[in-house]
Amino acid sequence: MIYKVLVVDDANFIRMMIRQVLTHLGYTNILEAKNGFEALEIYKANRPALTILDITMPELDGLSTLFEIMAFDPTAKVIMCSAASQETSVSEALELGAAAFVTKPFRPDELGKIITKVLTGNNKGNL
């Protein structure tokens, strides 16, 4: 598909897993970042249709990155992803404008459903 998707996670393994889900769904224009600073640079240069963003990262965490992305582009579609399923992180991410929140470990089919849901504009959701 022609959509650009940005995957942001400090763990290469997680980026690879998300890339596989996206590829299975037909997305081929996949960008990657290892931290929030890289993500902001890539986002501003490419304006991806979707960003999948980890919360816990070194240098610039996911919530701060989300805040910066939403300040730059209030229409951004961002799915937050984190092993830390803390209720405060979930609610803060959604308040900042995240379209959905996915808890690691995730099942590939569940992640695929939420990606499709967010890109087609079917409201906010979480897994």
Task: Please determine, for residue 124, whether its predicted confidence score (pLDDT) is greater than 50.
Answer: no
- 81 with 55: CB under 8 angstroms? yes
Spans of all domains in the chain: 4-126
Place of tokens 């997305």: 27
> What pLDDT digit, counting tens, does each position of 40-59 carry?
999 999 999 999 999 988 88
pLDDT at 97: 94
pTM: 0.90
How far is the C-alpha of 6 from the C-alpha of 17, rounded, in Å?
13
Strands 50-54, 4-8: parallel, antiparallel or unpaired by DSSP?
parallel
Backbone angles phi, psi at 74, to 5 degrees: -60, -15
* Rg of the chain over all Cα atoms, to the nearest angstrom: 13
Residue 125, pLDDT > 50, answer no
| DSSP, residue by residue, 4-27 | EEEEE-S-HHHHHHHHHHHHHHT-
Least confident of 21-35, 63-77, 85-99: 85-99
- Are the C-beta atoms of residues 50 and 118 closer than 8 Å to each other? yes
What is the per-residue pLDDT for 103?
85
- Per-residue pLDDT, 89: 80
Closest CA to 115 of 12, 15, 21: 21
Which CATH number does 4-126 carry? 3.40.50.2300
